[in-house]
Amino acid sequence: MLQVTPATVASWIDQGHLKGHRTPTGRRRVASADLADFLRAHNMSVPSELVAGREKPVVVVVEDDPTYLGALTRMLAKEAPEVEVVTASTGVDGLLEIGRLAPDLVMLDYSLPDLNAVQVVERLQDESKRLTAAVLVVTGGLPAAAENELRRAGVRAIVNKADGMAVVIDAMRRSLSARKVA
């Protein structure tokens, strides 16, 4: 899972870096929550198999407009304290955060300085990544063919920034709820 040898993990446990215990047969065991905490503390990516036990759903917001990003982040902190929000201002930074955190939802602006939403979603669809985050596109406007491209890429929800923050937060909650049911 971590692409290190069992001896390395045993060493981490023996040195007290990783919380674990020995079984009566001498094998070492680590609780998934302890392993996830260890990985986060050492800035290592947390495999999606370990993420299911988090206390709060994680939402990565990828938005290049600092004014809108700040307003959205403040509104989410006030209106949706049940979610952990992580932000990024470019598509590449967003992809890095998504890979690091394996979030429950990605809120993605369509127009970013380096990639558009379709390009980001296509990279998320790569089977080798094993990422399963739902994607909510929040945009100020889309080119005519973009909505069809996004739908074909698997995006189920698209909301317009002009509809207001309440609509965006409601769409976020619906996306997270649909994810729990699935």
In the predicted structure, residue 69 carries a pLDDT above the cut 90: yes
pLDDT at 158: 93
CB 59 within 8 A of CB 103: yes
- Rounded Cα distance between 86 and 100, Å, is 11
Ranges of each domain in the chain: 6-50, 58-181
The per-residue pLDDT for range 74-123, each reduced to its tens digit, is 999 999 999 999 999 999 999 888 888 888 899 999 989 998 888 888 88
**Residue 16 binned pLDDT confidence (cut-offs 50, 70, 90):** confident
In the predicted structure, residue 127 carries a pLDDT above the cut 70: no
Give the percent of the chain with pLDDT over 70: 90
**61-77 average pLDDT score:** 94
User: What CATH fold (topology level) applies to the domain 58-181?
Assistant: Rossmann fold (3.40.50)
User: pTM value?
Assistant: 0.69
**Residue 62 binned pLDDT confidence (cut-offs 50, 70, 90):** very high
CA 107 to chain centre: 9
pLDDT at 137: 94
- Residue 84 DSSP code: E
In the predicted structure, residue 129 carries a pLDDT above the cut 60: no
- Cα 129 to Cα 21, 98, 102, 145, 146: the distances in Å are 31, 10, 10, 27, 24
